[in-house]
Structure 1
Amino acid sequence: MISEILRVRTPLVSFHVLRDDAGLLLLDAGFVGGVGFLRRALVRRGWENEPIRGILLTHGHLDHTLNVARLAREHGAWIAAPRADAERYLGRGSSRGWGRIGGMLEAIGRPVLGFRPFVPDRLIDDGDEIETGCGLRAVSLPGHTEGHTGYYCEALRLLFCGDLFASFGRWSHFPPAILNADPGKMAASVRKALSLDLAGVLPNHADDAEPSEHLRRLRVLADRLTPG
């Protein structure tokens, strides 16, 4: 089943494609150039004729949502996304503290990059099940945004962890303060993720290491967190 997961790499952020008998499911939709990177990745894997049936979001930041409306329209795909980020899909939303800087940058970027607002067909809450070949369960991991959510595949013991952290070898790190809507919730979300039975994690900002290595890096970062 692991061969049925495809990572689409772009210069700034990656996203994932899951394939089952019903077609393809996108986990996030990438940033600038993401549609072209997706098309080429599908051709390389031989999936170019598979229908894209759905788009499942980890959160509402622009680098994950820029292409959602376009891809949903072109492929007739449904959209499912965390409920607590609903304002962000409409091009709104707010952050606290230093996170306001990131919010202002997004506000500038949306019209410049051609962001199209959208309304998800389904709003996701913690614990919701998403029907796929490997089965996914929503795991609410707030802090980066209000609704930031990971998706856990119990059969593979893998967590698609969105932007819980960035995994780049010795430069692995948690998201900078200017990108976090509610930083006070980040530590609890990391501990919640690591409480799962995990063989690996799949971050959106990461190098080509195996999921097990990304998990090791996350555990190292978690050891540095302030208890509580």
Structure 2
Amino acid sequence: MPDPFAHSGHTAWQPSSQVSEPAPGFFFVEGPASNWIIVRDESGFILVDSGYPGDTDFVLKSIDYAGLKPAKARAILITHGHVDHTGSAALFSRTFGTPILCSPEELAHVQGHEKHQVGLGQVVLRAWRPRVLRWMSHAIRAGALNADPATEARAWTAEQLRELPGSPEAILVAGHTPGNASIYFRGAGVIATGDSLITGHPLTRQRGPQMLHPMFHTEPGTVLSATHVLDGVEASVILPGHGPALAMPLSHALASLRA
């Protein structure tokens, strides 16, 4: 299996190998330990999530690779407030005035008023496992312990989302965090699942539809049942927060997940 941190150095990570276009106008970016997505159409572009704080240079490179300018981003949509998804949001807000949007239920988390992140103690208890130790070391180097919250974030509305590139729709999939959401692009048959459904993670060798380790969830007992809100969503391209993209009907991925 490829080294999950093979591209963790600024000289090693290259958009030519880490950016793909699994559907027209959807640029899927695999960062060193988490993913983000660029969605482009004739009206401009948005980001879905933004990696760790230490991934900012990679985020900027990926935008340039897609032929776009960071200052022109119409919004960053945050699937949930964990630091490996909000990492560049505060910088974009300060530097470019980019609107940072999330679900109403997640707003306090994204703004830094609440904390639903895995505790350092939980990780240290498992640090005897080499994969956990390597992931923890990477997360610390990537700025997980001193990330700036996106204090100017705002709650999205359905009407506001519809006006953005790709006409995204938010689907609340609570459990991973209180306001965790997946972002559905109905017209393209694409869904950005964030951490509602992933396809890989540095803590495991497993590939394919799966859930994160329970220690990452606010309510680990509900995360699997919460995915039933995605039943009936017609998507054939799945863009997860961790792991590679999947060209698979979402219904098949969910069945595999629950099996």
Deviation readout 1:7-44 (Å, 9 max, x if unpaired): 12211001001112332211111114322112222232
Q: CA deviation at 1:210?
A: 3.6
**Bigger CA drift: 55-64 or 77-86?**
77-86
TM-score by length of 1: 0.80
The list of structure 1 runs, each at least 4 consecutive aligned residues, that deviate by more than 4 angstroms after superposition, is 102-106, 108-113
Unaligned stretches of 5+ in structure 2? 1-20, 124-135
Deviation readout 1:100-149 (Å, 9 max, x if unpaired): 6369779x969865322233453136x66612232111100011100000
**Bigger CA drift: 134-143 or 184-193?**
184-193
Q: Does 1:187 align with 2:224?
A: yes
Query: Counterparts of 1:3-42 in structure 2 under 5 Å?
Result: 3-42=24-63
**Bigger CA drift: 150-159 or 115-124?**
115-124
TM-score by length of 2: 0.72
Query: Counterparts of 1:174-213 in structure 2 under 5 Å?
Result: 174-207=211-244, 209-212=245-248
Aligned counterparts of 1:195 and 1:217: Cα–Cα separation in 2: 12
Equivalent in the alignment of 1:59: 80
**Contact 1:34/1:67 (<8 A) preserved:** yes
Aligned in 2, Cα 1:103/1:137: closer, same or farther, shift over 3 Å?
farther
**Contact 1:20/1:132 (<8 A) preserved:** no
Equivalent in the alignment of 1:91: 112
**Contact 1:201/1:215 (<8 A) preserved:** no
Deviation readout 1:51-84 (Å, 9 max, x if unpaired): 1121111001111112211012222211111222
Query: Counterparts of 1:84-163 in structure 2 under 5 Å?
Result: 84-94=105-115, 101=119, 113-124=145-156, 130=161, 131-163=163-195
Letter in 2 for 1:158: V
Aligned counterparts of 1:8 and 1:214: Cα–Cα separation in 2: 20
Letter in 1 for 2:180: H
How many residues are matched? Answer: 217
Letter in 2 for 1:83: P
Letter in 1 for 2:232: S
Letter in 2 for 1:174: M
SS in 2 for 1:87: helix
Equivalent in the alignment of 1:77: 98
Equivalent in the alignment of 2:4: none
SS in 2 for 1:206: coil
**Contact 1:142/1:186 (<8 A) preserved:** yes
**Bigger CA drift: 163-172 or 110-119?**
110-119
Q: CA deviation at 1:204?
A: 1.1
Aligned counterparts of 2:215 and 2:90: Cα–Cα separation in 1: 26
- Structure 1 vs Structure 2 CA RMSD: 3.1
Aligned in 2, Cα 1:129/1:194: closer, same or farther, shift over 3 Å?
farther
**Contact 2:52/2:144 (<8 A) preserved:** no
**Bigger CA drift: 79-88 or 109-118?**
109-118
Aligned in 2, Cα 1:201/1:217: closer, same or farther, shift over 3 Å?
same
Aligned in 2, Cα 1:16/1:49: closer, same or farther, shift over 3 Å?
closer
